[in-house]
Amino acid sequence: MPDIDKLKVSVDRDACIGDGACCSDAPETFEMDDEDKAVVKDSSTDSRETILEAAENCPTDAIVVEDRETGEKLYPTE
């Protein structure tokens, strides 16, 4: 099983400001909905690195990435 299948990706809609950066960074993973909020369309195509980079580049840390198996929060980390 590819590493990517182990990621659980979600977007905090209240934190998302709709700038679309994640859709540029990881276009297979995120898309904008009709309220200009990012949603996860597929978390199994972009690479793990690409998804984590998109999360790191989100200006409001609205993207949460967790390891599906261990529950470990990979981003944001504190």
For tokens 């998302």, the residue is 16
- List CB contacts of 36: < 8 A, sequence separation 6 or more: 18
Region 34-63 residues binding ligand SF4, contact defined as CB under 6 A: 38, 58-60, 62-63
Total residues interacting with ligand SF4, rule: CB under 6 A = 14
Comparing CB distances to ligand SF4, the nearer of 2 and 13 is 13
**Do the beta carbons of residue 31 and residue 41 sit within 8 Å?**
yes
Kindly report the length of the chain. 78
Q: Of 4, 22, 51, 52, which one interacts with ligand SF4 (CB under 6 A)? A: 22
Applying CB under 6 A, which residues contact ligand SF4?
11, 16-22, 38, 58-60, 62-63
